Amino acid sequence: EQPGEASDAEASEAKQAELDQKVLRREAARRRNFAIIAHADAGKSSLTEKLLLYGGAIHEAGAVKARRASRHVTSDWMELEKQRGISITSTAMTFDYDGFQMNLLDTPGHQDFSEDTYRTLAAADNAVMLMDGAKGIEAQTRKLFEVVRLRKLPIFTFVNKLDRPALEPMELMDQLEKEFGLQAYPVNWPIGSGDRFVGVYHRPSKLVYLFERSGRDGRSRRAQGTAFALDDPQLDGLVEADLLAEVRDEIELLDELGEELDMERVMRGELTPVFFGSAMNNFGVELFLQSFTELAASPAKRSTHEDVSVRPDDVHFSGLVFKLQANMDPRHRDKVAFIRVCSGKFEKGMKVKIARTGRTVALSRPQKMFAQDRTTVQEGFAGDVIGLNNPGAFAIGDTIFTGPAVRYPPIPSFSPELFAYLRCTPGQKKAFQKGLDGLLGEGAVQVLYSNDDFVTDPMLAAVGQLQFEVVQHRMKAEYGVDTTLEPLAYSLARWVLGGWDCVARAGRLFNTTVAKDVYGRPVLLFRNEFALQQITGDAAKALGELSPYAIP
Ligand code: GDP
């Protein structure tokens, strides 16, 4: 071999690597990955639908709803959801807009599933907080916001239903500031609401977009049609004089005294760009999308266990398993593991290592989920969500990678607040155990056991009551097992990090039940905060460090 040839080969290899990295960088930069958080009924499905409409992912309004209503849809693969009228499961949806690839992670609206929301947000780069203009901040907005805060995501606020009487925009901004300590930067500003809703003033373009109620089919793609300058005399003919004068004053005030759009603060989740509109009427949605694609965070570098950062354009692939779900399709018993690509390029059939087990697996049959339609994915880049058929190899929080080992920090679980024994009829023990293992693997619920060897019934530990109902419902629907639930009076759990030796040294503990988790680690259960506070002195010293969470 000639020396010249070798260096030629090296040079072309280096060139290829450079090209690859360019593609990785470009693809990551055009990804916008986000989750919508909202109180039930604020209009999440309506907004989602309109976003998908703009992205051409669906072609008619009503498609999301129709999918919801039909029998075999992902978002109500459980009868329970339909019965309760809530959306429990989350899916990832992808659409294109203006050269951007939008990845929308759906989060459950109900607060009993905030743990699922947290896991989904572990895979998200941005949060969109959707509010009903008449209601402002609601209970679930609060709970979900806390979860977003934990993740320090940039937050974009969409105030919906302006076609109905709404709170004053200043009042809404005030709520954000007072309750969440979140400063607001209105990107557009509503002119009236309800019957007097005329449209929005769009601050970047300094134009007023007039509201037109969309027709019955809701298909008008550009509901914000006509636009005028704020001082255009034509506006005087269209907007009531007092309303126009008020809005002109407000805008002046905002421009002079309001927050500046400081993007660093937006990225830290301290300042939220705010949008007003009406999802149902498809108004303000495109203005939102335009700003959102421009302002939202693209996939960023991620810190690993060892505090090393992995860049999205790293040549080596890495991903995070954030959600496991079984039996999504009632027609095929299946298990899907959802991963978020964190770096490099995902390719169909590629072999990856699982950081936790060191096992190598081939990622076959990757899927992108859109409601119930699954398309096979050939490739993916940072910010993408891919569903993998899960042969039981994955656990929530797993890192998968090629190249040098990486491991992302585990996704912490929430501290359970509700406890109950779950029992089945004696003849169904085997199916019961199978169901329990399945649901545990998905992280649908936590399970503890009594430390008393005579009590073998599993103790479910949950954050919200609905989690119990889901377990019981799925036990019946998917495993054919009838169960009964015996609620327990505990409300707090503390893991004894030092293990059983510490428990033994602590001696007799009053008002405390000692249980163990599925790994056999000691967990103390208390009826209330007061009981926990009673552990003091020598006992407290002997027990050592207590944690409200199971450390993964
Ligand atoms: P979700 O529960 O958050 O998914 O909310 P939906 O999208 O299902 O909407 C809840 C209700 O509010 C439905 O009856 C919608 O038709 C209605 N809705 C959604 N957006 C708007 C809007 O912009 N204006 C009005 N007036 N109603 C809306």
The predicted-structure confidence for 127-171, as pLDDT tens digits, reads as follows 999 999 999 999 888 888 988 888 889 999 999 999 999 999 999
Q: For residue 106, what pLDDT is reported?
A: 79
128 has which bridge partners? 36, 156
Asked if residue 92 lies in contact with residue 48, where contact means CB atoms within 8 angstroms, the answer is no
Query: E strand or H helix at 141, and its extent?
Result: helix 139-151
Nearest CA to ligand 1 atom 28: 280
As a whole number of angstroms, the distance between CA 443 and CA 445 comes to 5
Judge if the beta carbon of residue 141 lies within 6 A of ligand 1.
no
Q: Ligand 1 pocket check: which of 37, 39, 41 to mutate, most ligand atoms within 8 Å of Cβ?
A: 41
Nearest CA to ligand 1 atom 19: 43
39 CA to centre of ligand 1 in angstroms: 11
pTM of the model: 0.83
User: What's the longest Cα–Cα distance across the chain?
Assistant: 86
44 CA to centre of ligand 1 in angstroms: 7
Q: Ligand 1 pocket check: which of 280, 282, 285 to mutate, most ligand atoms within 8 Å of Cβ?
A: 280
From the alpha carbon of 49, which atom of ligand 1 is closest? 7
- What interface predicted TM-score (ipTM) does this complex get? 0.99
126-132 sheet: strands from edge to edge = 92-97, 100-106, 31-38, 126-132, 155-160, 271-276, 183-186
Judge if the beta carbon of residue 45 lies within 6 A of ligand 1.
yes
Q: For residue 139, what pLDDT is reported?
A: 87
- Which residues have a Cβ under 8 Å from the Cβ of 437 and sit 6 or more positions away? none
From the alpha carbon of 42, which atom of ligand 1 is closest? 3
Q: Ligand 1 pocket check: which of 46, 87, 111, 281 to mutate, most ligand atoms within 8 Å of Cβ?
A: 46
- The list of the chain residues with pLDDT below 70 reads 1-6, 57-91, 109-110, 214-225, 327-334, 365-377, 391, 552
- Which residues have a Cβ under 8 Å from the Cβ of 227 and sit 6 or more positions away? 202, 205, 207, 208, 209, 210
Nearest CA to ligand 1 atom 15: 43
280 CA to centre of ligand 1 in angstroms: 6
Residues in the chain: 552
Nearest CA to ligand 1 atom 26: 161
324 has which bridge partners? 337
Asked if residue 153 lies in contact with residue 121, where contact means CB atoms within 8 angstroms, the answer is yes
From the alpha carbon of 47, which atom of ligand 1 is closest? 7
281 CA to centre of ligand 1 in angstroms: 10
- Which of 421, 383, 226 is CA-nearest to residue 301? 383
Judge if the beta carbon of residue 75 lies within 6 A of ligand 1.
no
Judge if the beta carbon of residue 161 lies within 6 A of ligand 1.
yes
